[in-house]
Chains A and B, each alone.
Chain A
């Protein structure tokens, strides 16, 4: 379970202090599919960085499964990122000169997974993400945007993390491919019981989640169950 209590985030200090998040308190249960929504500058990316242990809050408490993150050392944050969290970015962030398989195996390199087990785990993750496994030896810059995002999802899944953080995952995709990718997230959430946190500024995208947290000017404006879950094309790996 993720718990944030009275989280503040400010950049700079003194006269040049720029406040970004004000007094954020929220809990996200294991296995939830949450969308964090808000306009540009609302602080949603900053919140995602804090949730993803890429950054720490200026004040307040943040715990992941009762482990305090706010005061953790760099090494502890690295360990949490390695074992508990998987990231999916808007621009995919795949290593261009590497194959699909090598990209998905990357987190396993840092998680000390023995070399002989990496390939099978990567192929398994690619299948879960709905990637056509006959193309695993293609270079990552030789595949389409939709396929690239599936590779990125597979990379996020490969280490069996409890939390998947997706920052505008459909931002660089056409609406049809976007729908398929969002369906993949729903599928992963249901099948793998992983907590999925989706950052978006689009209502259509947010409505794929079970719960929508709306941020405005660095504060939680609303936090409610989504009563109008959109029908999506569920991806069925099997």
Chain B
């Protein structure tokens, strides 16, 4: 029996049962397209989060206060811990090599008023270098200078959302706003960056850290230290470790496990985000896998019905010389052809749905070659595994019993 004969037999059998074959193929189409779409959403989400984290800046190292493990009975929230000071920042900037730019960060939420409009937003005090560390692009006006930081100037740079909240479409430059009851002059607007995965980068006001210290925090503590390293990869980790060692000695801590600060780099954040999206993708895939198994059982069910309906035909084929292998191949091939049709249509439908989600519903999706390969592999396995049992049942029928079957 040649491959052409096999195709001819399978084609005739599928065409003879158009409706049933159609329903079976539909099951596979739904299963495979779900796999493609869900894998695309998983990959798209991961890519989008990574891009957003990359957009924060490059070669970024962050020092944040933390509560040393094993110290004290009550664990306070990270935001309320005050362990980093301006002195730490100054020592790091003086003593550590390999730093391109460094800035402290003093954070706080303040009420901001412009004329009759007011909003509550994040106000962060930083140095002039912060613009480079976080790769901020100025849309209108300027960022403040080193001199203005040294002068404790009351200048403010607004995020695009904050600007819209206070000024709408009006020009904001050189306008006076009140932040926490203190007058500031707006000198620049930052281009929109979107969500970073850790809150909006656009809804905030940036002021010199010296000003934030004098008017708001009124102490020596800072919220974090932001550093842009000259290096990336392994060399950046060396810089990170040096900072760790320096701070341990300044804070007089011998056991690094009890450090009251943490030094993290961008790739740590990306890794954490990736592990979260991977878990999400895994969950999505398992949902798709269930639909594929249901589709596979559909194929097996149809093929078993097919075998039962065609018992006499199988008996006749055996009587005229068909071997067990011929019969097994015929039914297995039928299942494989059905799954292949379902697989191809499912992949195409999946790509179309992913495209629609991306362009019309703004849901990040990224159809990768891998997701297509996985779908092809899965549909082939389903065809073979779920087609094999009915094919074997057909092949093992005794010709006499099959011919006698009513």
Q: Which residues of A contact B (CB under 8 A)?
A: 49, 52, 54-55, 74-75, 78-79, 81-83, 87, 89, 93, 95, 97-98, 106-107, 109-112, 115, 155, 159
Contact B321 A83, beta carbon cutoff 8 Å? yes
Known contacts A93-B312, A106-B317, A109-B5; A54/B322 CB under 8 A: no
A–B pairs, 25, beta carbons within 8 Å: A52-B319, A54-B319, A54-B399, A54-B400, A55-B398, A75-B323, A78-B318, A78-B323, A81-B319, A81-B320, A82-B320, A82-B321, A87-B319, A89-B316, A95-B316, A98-B12, A107-B320, A109-B1, A109-B5, A110-B317, A110-B322, A111-B321, A115-B4, A155-B320, A159-B321
Beyond contacts A78-B323, A87-B319, A110-B326: 5 other A-B pairs, Cβ-Cβ < 8 A, are A54-B319, A74-B324, A82-B320, A93-B316, A106-B317
How far, in Å, is B26 (CB) from chain A's closest CB? 23
- Kindly state the separation between the CA atoms of A81 and B324 in the bound complex, as whole angstroms: 13
The reply to whether the CB of B183 lies closer than 8 angstroms to some CB of chain A is no
- Tally B residues with Cβ within 8 Å of A: 23
B74 at the interface (CB under 8 A from A): no
Q: Is the CB of B326 within 8 A of A93?
A: no
B321 touches A110 (CB 8 A): yes
Most A CB contacts (10 A, CB to CB) among B315, B316, B319, B400 go to B319
Which of A54, A79, A87, A112 has the largest count of B CB atoms less than 10 A from its CB? A54
Closest to B326 in A: A110
B374 at interface (Cβ–Cβ under 8 A)?
A: no
The 9 closest A-B pairs by CB, nearest first: A82-B321, A110-B321, A107-B320, A93-B316, A78-B323, A54-B399, A87-B319, A110-B322, A109-B5
How far apart sit A206 and B4, CA to CA, in the bound complex (Å)?
A: 43
* Closest B residue, CB atoms, query A49: B400
With a cutoff of 8 Å between Cβ atoms, the chain A residues found around residue B316 in the complex are: 89, 93, 95
**B321 and A89 contact, CB distance less than 8 A:** no
Name the distance in Å between B249's Cβ and chain A's nearest Cβ: 83
B1-17 interface code vs A (CB 8 A; 1 in, 0 out): 11011000000100010
Chain B nearest CB: distance from A13 CB in Å? 16
Q: How far, in whole Å, are A115 and B2 apart by their CA atoms in the complex?
A: 9
Residue pair A89, B320 in contact (C-beta under 8 Å)? no
From B12, B322, B399, give the contact of A97 (CB < 8 A).
Answer: B12
Task: State A79–B319 Cα separation when bound (angstroms).
Answer: 10
Please report the C-alpha to C-alpha distance between residue A98 and residue B12 in the assembled complex, in whole angstroms.
9
- Residues of chain B contacted by A55 (CB below 8 angstroms): 398, 400
In the bound complex, residues from chain B placing their C-beta under 8 Å from that of A109 are 1, 5
Residues of B within 8 A of A (CB): 1-2, 4-5, 12, 16, 312-313, 315-324, 326, 398-400, 403
Alpha-carbon gap, A106 to B313, bound state (A): 11
Looking across the interface, which residue of chain B has its beta carbon closest to that of A118?
A: B5
- B320: which A residues are within 8 A, CB to CB? 81-82, 87, 106-107, 110, 155
- Considering the complex, give the chain B residue whose CB is closest to the CB of A82: B321
User: How far is the CB of B190 from the nearest CB of chain A, in Å?
Assistant: 72
Q: Whole-angstrom distance between the alpha carbons of A54 and B318 in the complex?
A: 9
| Residues in B whose Cβ lies below 8 Å from that of A98 | 12
Q: How far is the CA of A95 from the CA of B398 in the complex (A)?
A: 19
- Assess the A78–B321 pair: CB atoms within 8 A: yes
Given contacts A78-B323, A110-B323, contact A89 B317 (CB under 8 A): no
Which A residues are CB-close (under 8 A) to B318? 54, 78, 81
Q: Bound complex: CA of A110 vs CA of B398, how far in Å?
A: 18
Is there an interface contact between A93 and B403, defined as CB atoms closer than 8 Å?
Answer: yes
Chain B residues lying within 8 Å of A95, measured Cβ to Cβ, are: 313, 316
**Complex formed: what's the CA distance from A112 to B321 in Å?**
11
Nearest opposing residue in chain B for A165, CB measure? B319
Instruction: Report chain B residues within 8 Å CB of A49.
Output: 400
Inter-chain CA distance A214–B401, complex, in Å, is 25
- Chain B residue at smallest Cβ distance from A81: B321
Which A residues lie within 8 Å of B403 (CB)?
A: 54, 89, 93
> What distance in Å separates the Cβ of A96 from its nearest Cβ neighbour in chain B?
9
A54 to B314, CA, bound (A): 13
Of chain A, the residue at the smallest CB distance from B312 is A93
**Closest chain B residue to A93 by CB distance?**
B316
Which residues of chain B are within 8 angstroms of A74 by Cβ–Cβ distance? 324
In the assembled complex, the Cα of A155 lies from the Cα of B316 at a distance in Å of 11
- In the complex, what's the smallest C-beta–C-beta distance from B8 to chain A, in angstroms? 9
Which A residues touch B324, using CB under 8 A? 74, 78
